A and B are shown apart, each in its own frame.
Chain A
Amino acid sequence: MDPDEYFDRTRMILVAGKGGVGKTVLSACLARLAARTGRSTLLVEIDGRSAFGPLFGVENIGYDEVRLAAANGGSGEIRGRTITPDVALVEWLDDHGLKRVSKRLVKTGAVDVISTATPGIKDLLVLGKIKQLVHESDVDVVIVDAPAAGHAMSFLRAPAMLAKMAKTGPIHAQATAVLEMLGDASQCEVMLVTLPEETPVNELIDTAFQLEDDVGIQLAPVVVNGLYPIIEGLDVDLTKLAEQGTIKTNLGKQKMDELTAAGDFRQKRTDLQSSQAARLAQMLPLEQLTLPYIFDADIGLAQIDQLADALAAGIAQLTLEAT
């Protein structure tokens, strides 16, 4: 499957995973990749500090859309925005004929009481806002950098919970509409990302099964981020070869030891990563995409493009059915 076919499958990709595993990097990669296919893309962050801003060299990304990368020749435009739960709530009240009330609700602090009384209401309204973007925005693809793992579950469970809690009325209607979107693979899917390490892999597996059971959302291939590229030849016993005189060395014993220790460390971490990726494949019947570890630089736009190449190569190998 080429990336063009991949982005034909769905309108919105929600990127989720434990904190620190590379959700933002993956989201940016997906946006660059979609742009390469000529698609216009909207990157969405939920609340929090703006992580996309520094990557794309844009000062501050707020509630209003900003351009992160212009359309250029065959490549599409990338835009970005955040969705702040409080603003989404007020906007929703305004849209539902409560404009006069919404100001008072905020001013008196009653908004806090509403959101305490109906946990998940902000999550629901953020998802409602995303749904509105998916339906009404003129962009081809929407990429959402979801809240970190634990919160991602309560975030995506909120609509079902509220649909049950509010039996009628505007909240019920909103919850039902969002549930419909979440259950429709042509509208959205979740792409889970992890590092090839014990704990994040465990959490990804838990999250994947919970999402399937509780939310019924389409799961995209899982992404294993930060894989050390395999270096061949680290299994050689350098010291022995040098002692036997098979190879010549101009290093003293201490430097030889350091060199072999570096090789040994690198090999052990690589083996550990492979075994975690293999365990993930065994426990979760989803195809895997991998992103290499970048050794030589902090992640900037150049590295994002390098990773997008790797992602494209991985997508080419997928056996997913096109929709």
Chain B
Amino acid sequence: MSSDFSALIAEREVLVLAGTGGVGKTTSAAVIAIEAAMQGRRVALVTIDPAKRLADALGLESLTNTPSRIALPAETTGEVWALMLDTKSTFDALIHRYSANTDQASRILDNSFYANISNALSGTQEYMAMEKLYELTADGDYDLVVVDTPPSRNALAFLDSPNMLSRLLDHWLYKALMAPTRSLLKASQLLLRQLSKIVGSDVVEDVVAFFQAFEGMEEGFKQRSQQVQRLLASDACGFVLVASARHDTVVEAVFLANQLADNDLGVAAVVMNRLQPDFVRLNRRPRAPEFEPFLQAHDELHALADREAIHIDALLDQVHGNPVVVRVPLLSSDVHDLDGMTELRTKMFSK
């Protein structure tokens, strides 16, 4: 099973990891990147997690928007270049790319509605992650791009994110402001007056100014979105679902798998992470009191492993498309450095 996972990593050009919080998604992304590097591939690792967990996991002080090389054992034939997505500067770069001139770019970059979109708008982070993914893939500098994602509750935003800005630009208000017919203009001005009363006229003026500054750039943005969508749907791209064997994380993982299916995307692999080690059952129970604490520990871990098996079956029952299934045991220590990841890698890819 696990060797199939190794093969999957050897052949894909893009791997997107998805799963709920606390299942070890970021660490798995890093371990997958390292495995690919061990195979001799040049890998870019993108994390968009705001908690900077990848930095934590890789023992790095900080990550930036440009990939920096991770120190790996000398015998590694490939390379891992990691970055922490900087949403705003990725968006800024996109504005520069599609603006007709620097004047148009700075009118947008200085606008406070733009600042809101590029910083705080939910979905922007996912959208920019896809943009970064596309940028890294299009450059051709890397054999594989591994992307970490925010928790699965945002899955829809993540899959739909390339369309987000197009939708905003398709908005009738935008059209009314750009190509005003008399009746549209009248309606929009009435609405803008009402909006001003609620959120203040400054806010409304910023929105109008942003839409006006954006004129002529929509087409470029839409095309870019379509390119990203095509990449996600291509055979070069694989989605990896990461889950732990608990009822709540399984529910979230199934939810995510369904979102992918709704978008005609399949699950290439399921990583069942942090599983309790399953110790061999005992046929006899020694009587000496010294055994008692060990028997208790053994019984407890068994009860856990049994419950986990039920949750794993439930998940695999509901994920279609015959994904590679990888089972990774919980280690006796937390993984937050390279040694820990090396140990985890041997578990994840054990033959």
> In the bound complex, do residue B121 and residue A119 qualify as a contact, i.e. CB atoms below 8 Å apart?
yes
**Chain A residue nearest in CB terms to B153:** A48
CA distance A119 to B125 in the complex (A): 14
Q: Given A110-B173, A148-B151, A262-B279, check contact A118 B199 (CB 8 Å).
A: yes
Instruction: Type the 1/0 row for B8-43, where 1 means its CB is closer than 8 Å to any CB of A.
Output: 000000000000111100000000000000000000
**CB proximity of B243 to chain A, nearest CB, Å:** 11
Write out the residue numbers on chain B whose beta carbons fall within 8 Å of the beta carbon of A96: 198
> In the bound complex, do residue A249 and residue B333 qualify as a contact, i.e. CB atoms below 8 Å apart?
no
Comparing A65-73, A76-84, A162-170, A178-186, the segment that makes contact with chain B is: A162-170
A302 touches B (CB below 8 Å)? no
Instruction: Report which residue of A231, A234, A265 has the largest number of chain B beta carbons within 10 angstroms of its beta carbon.
Output: A265
**CB proximity of B103 to chain A, nearest CB, Å:** 23
Comparing B62-70, B92-100, B217-225, B301-309, the segment that makes contact with chain A is: B301-309
**Chain B residue nearest in CB terms to A269:** B332
> In the bound complex, do residue B248 and residue A266 qualify as a contact, i.e. CB atoms below 8 Å apart?
no
Write out the residue numbers on chain B whose beta carbons fall within 8 Å of the beta carbon of A169: 197-200
CA distance A88 to B177 in the complex (A): 29
> In the bound complex, do residue B191 and residue A108 qualify as a contact, i.e. CB atoms below 8 Å apart?
yes
A19-B21, A117-B207 known; 10 other A-B pairs, CB under 8 Å? Answer: A49-B251, A116-B168, A148-B151, A199-B56, A247-B286, A247-B290, A248-B286, A266-B301, A269-B330, A295-B301
Instruction: Type the 1/0 row for A279-308, where 1 means its CB is closer than 8 Å to any CB of B.
Output: 000000000000000011111000000000
A272 touches B (CB below 8 Å)? yes
The answer, among A195, A248, A251, A264, for a CB contact under 8 Å with B332, is: A264
Q: Given A117-B199, A171-B199, A198-B336, check contact A248 B168 (CB 8 Å).
A: no
> In the bound complex, do residue B204 and residue A119 qualify as a contact, i.e. CB atoms below 8 Å apart?
no
- Counting from the closest, the 10 A-B pairs by CB-CB distance are A19-B21, A20-B22, A119-B120, A266-B297, A233-B293, A247-B288, A268-B332, A262-B298, A263-B294, A295-B300
> In the bound complex, do residue A234 and residue B293 qualify as a contact, i.e. CB atoms below 8 Å apart?
yes
**CB proximity of A158 to chain B, nearest CB, Å:** 9
B318 touches A (CB below 8 Å)? no
The answer, among A98, A202, A296, for a CB contact under 8 Å with B198, is: A98
The answer, among B22, B255, B294, for a CB contact under 8 Å with A259, is: B294
Write out the residue numbers on chain A whose beta carbons fall within 8 Å of the beta carbon of B249: 20
Residues of B within 8 A of A (CB): 20-23, 50-51, 53, 56-57, 113, 116-117, 119-121, 151, 153, 168, 171-173, 191, 194-195, 197-200, 203-204, 206-207, 246-249, 251, 255, 277, 279-280, 282-284, 286-288, 290-298, 300-301, 303-304, 307, 330, 332-334, 336
CA distance A234 to B53 in the complex (A): 33
Write out the residue numbers on chain A whose beta carbons fall within 8 Å of the beta carbon of B301: 262, 265-266, 295
A159 touches B (CB below 8 Å)? no
**CB proximity of A5 to chain B, nearest CB, Å:** 32
> In the bound complex, do residue A98 and residue B282 qualify as a contact, i.e. CB atoms below 8 Å apart?
no
Write out the residue numbers on chain B whose beta carbons fall within 8 Å of the beta carbon of A136: none
Write out the residue numbers on chain B whose beta carbons fall within 8 Å of the beta carbon of A202: 56
CA distance A249 to B168 in the complex (A): 72
A236 touches B (CB below 8 Å)? yes
**CB proximity of B144 to chain A, nearest CB, Å:** 25
**CB proximity of A93 to chain B, nearest CB, Å:** 7
> In the bound complex, do residue B199 and residue A166 qualify as a contact, i.e. CB atoms below 8 Å apart?
yes
Write out the residue numbers on chain A whose beta carbons fall within 8 Å of the beta carbon of B53: 199
Write out the residue numbers on chain B whose beta carbons fall within 8 Å of the beta carbon of A51: 248
Q: Given A116-B121, A119-B116, A149-B51, check contact A197 B334 (CB 8 Å).
A: yes
The main secondary structure of chain B at its interface with chain A is helix
Write out the residue numbers on chain A whose beta carbons fall within 8 Å of the beta carbon of B283: 255
The main secondary structure of chain A at its interface with chain B is helix
A318 touches B (CB below 8 Å)? no
> In the bound complex, do residue A118 and residue B22 qualify as a contact, i.e. CB atoms below 8 Å apart?
no
Write out the residue numbers on chain A whose beta carbons fall within 8 Å of the beta carbon of B246: 298
A254 touches B (CB below 8 Å)? yes
Write out the residue numbers on chain B whose beta carbons fall within 8 Å of the beta carbon of A112: 168, 171
> In the bound complex, do residue B168 and residue A203 qualify as a contact, i.e. CB atoms below 8 Å apart?
no
In chain A, positions 229-248 with a C-beta closer than 8 Å to chain B are: 231-234, 236, 238, 241, 247-248
Q: Given A108-B191, A117-B206, A169-B200, check contact A21 B22 (CB 8 Å).
A: yes
CA distance A234 to B292 in the complex (A): 9
Write out the residue numbers on chain A whose beta carbons fall within 8 Å of the beta carbon of B191: 104-105, 108, 110
> In the bound complex, do residue A166 and residue B200 qualify as a contact, i.e. CB atoms below 8 Å apart?
yes
What are 12 A-B contacts with C-beta separation under 8 Å?
A: A20-B22, A108-B172, A149-B51, A165-B200, A199-B53, A200-B22, A233-B292, A234-B293, A265-B277, A269-B330, A272-B333, A296-B303
CA distance A168 to B198 in the complex (A): 10
Write out the residue numbers on chain B whose beta carbons fall within 8 Å of the beta carbon of A197: 334
The answer, among B255, B279, B336, for a CB contact under 8 Å with A261, is: B279
**Chain B residue nearest in CB terms to A169:** B200
The answer, among A48, A109, A121, A231, for a CB contact under 8 Å with B172, is: A109
Write out the residue numbers on chain A whose beta carbons fall within 8 Å of the beta carbon of B247: 298-299
> In the bound complex, do residue B282 and residue A118 qualify as a contact, i.e. CB atoms below 8 Å apart?
no
Write out the residue numbers on chain B whose beta carbons fall within 8 Å of the beta carbon of A262: 277, 279, 294, 297-298, 301
**Chain A residue nearest in CB terms to B210:** A117
> In the bound complex, do residue B200 and residue A98 qualify as a contact, i.e. CB atoms below 8 Å apart?
no
CA distance A42 to B114 in the complex (A): 39
A260 touches B (CB below 8 Å)? yes
Instruction: Type the 1/0 row for A1-34, where 1 means its CB is closer than 8 Å to any CB of B.
Output: 0000000000000000011110010000000000
The answer, among A19, A149, A203, A255, for a CB contact under 8 Å with B20, is: A19
CA distance A231 to B284 in the complex (A): 21
> In the bound complex, do residue A203 and residue B300 qualify as a contact, i.e. CB atoms below 8 Å apart?
no
A319 touches B (CB below 8 Å)? no
Write out the residue numbers on chain A whose beta carbons fall within 8 Å of the beta carbon of B293: 231-234, 236, 263
